[in-house]
Amino acid sequence: MNLVITGTGVVSPVGIGKDAFLASFIKGESSVRGSAGQDDSQAKTYCRAAKVADFDFGVLFNDRRFRRAAVVTQYALVAAAEALKEAGLDFTTYDGKRVGVVCGVTHGALGYSCDFHKGFSTEGPLGASPVLFSDSVLNAPTGALSLAFGIKGPSHTLVGGPDVGVQAIEYGAELVKDGKVDVCLVASSEALNERIIEAYLKFGLGADKGDDAPIFGEGAGAVIIERGKVAEGHGMEKAIVELASAVTMVAPEQELALRGVTAQALHEAGLSGSDITGVISGGGSDGLEAALIGDILPEAMRLLSVKGLVGESFCAGTLMNVVAAALLINEGTRVVEGLGACTGREGRQLAAAVEQDQSILFLTAGHRKEAGCLILKRS
């Protein structure tokens, strides 16, 4: 069955909306601003942050019901609205029961959760704010997306690291493939919070020099998955890209998981390694991913990971990478510069002409020996 991605949306530190995002991605423009420190009485450790700038939710999303929602939910709403608009879907005239939503979440609205529990622990039941509680749960973005866009089909929240972004797409694709829905919105969002940074610094992920400090980011990505015939039925002359495969796997060793999902994704897509035009790694395990890409797909052009521009955005970073891959395939006539092409492919165009077949493989590792891989290709 032909599954296609007909719409994409993004909110990121390097741009809100696909045009600004793609322009920054092609130029390799970073968005890292400042650093944060943690004194562990032995040495001061640092990390850097990449935050979304100039985000005015009231201007970007005209629905006052969500004006008090957590930022992580607002990011998801704006990204999803852009994806739905691009897909040409109007849910006011569409059967909401035939639409599903799947959200990938890593931390959720951690700030709301902390504030809610702080009020409860210091003031008792009267200090437990219902306003904070509604967004403190991990499935709050999923609920908000369902409510905002009249989605009445299956709704699911998946929790985990970068690989869960692939798992969310994999699950959304299965819902469409099995006929449970005609359309599935898949989204993920992340919002930086001082507690998140503090926790990772305590885990020892900081550095004693600012230049070596890890970068944490935020934002959201969203894609619309449909069957090809359904997309044609509501006026889509041409889908953005075909979703050739999406696979997640857990293995005893991280390398086995990464090799396993890559082989399975290629098999399901009916492709060989030589058919892959470009590869984006998710950065869940940077060194291992890079080594395997060079080993398994030596001929493919290595494209810049979103992580290099917006920092570690976990599950949201995966959806941003997928949006970037879809946009690059859709912009086939552009010469891609500054994307760090691997040896032997320096300066190569991502596509020499519109007619050229293109396929981009995305590979990422989780944090518990999981891995995810998906392949997008020109429809």
Query: What is Dmax (Cα atoms) for the chain?
Result: 65
Q: Please state which of the ranges 73-82, 182-191, 196-205, 315-324 shows the lowest mean pLDDT.
A: 196-205
Question: In 3D, which of 361, 379, 5 has the Cα closest to residue 183?
Answer: 5
Q: Which helix (H) or strand (E) holds 130?
A: helix 130-136
- Do 151 and 289 share a structural domain? no
Q: How far apart are CA 7 and CA 323, in angstroms?
A: 9
% residues pLDDT > 70 (the chain): 76
- Do 197 and 77 share a structural domain? yes
Place of tokens 């968005």: 31
- Do 291 and 162 share a structural domain? no
Label the pairing between strands 35-39 and 278-281: unpaired
- Do 179 and 273 share a structural domain? no
Q: Which domain holds residue 37?
A: 3-233
- Whether pLDDT at 340 is above 60: no
- Do 289 and 211 share a structural domain? no
- Whether pLDDT at 56 is above 90: yes
CB neighbours of residue 288 within 10 Å: 15
3-state per-residue secondary structure call for 315-351:
HHHHHHHHHHHHHHHHCCCCCCCCCCCCCCCCCCCCC
At 336 the pLDDT is: 46
Per residue in 58-85, is it b (16+ CB within 10 Å) or e — as a string? Answer: eebbeeeebeebbbbbbbbbbbbbbbbe
Mark which of 166, 199, 233 sits at the end of a domain. 233
Beta bridge partners of 207: 46
- Do 297 and 254 share a structural domain? yes
- Do 34 and 18 share a structural domain? yes
| pLDDT tens-digit map of 175-207 | 999 999 999 999 999 998 888 888 888 777 665
Reduced to 3 states (helix: H, G, I; strand: E, B; else coil), residue 359 is: strand
- Whether pLDDT at 131 is above 70: no
Alpha carbon 14 to its chain's center? 14
- Do 145 and 50 share a structural domain? yes
Q: What are phi and psi of 221, to 5 degrees?
A: -135, 150
| 268 — pLDDT class (breaks 50, 70, 90) | very high
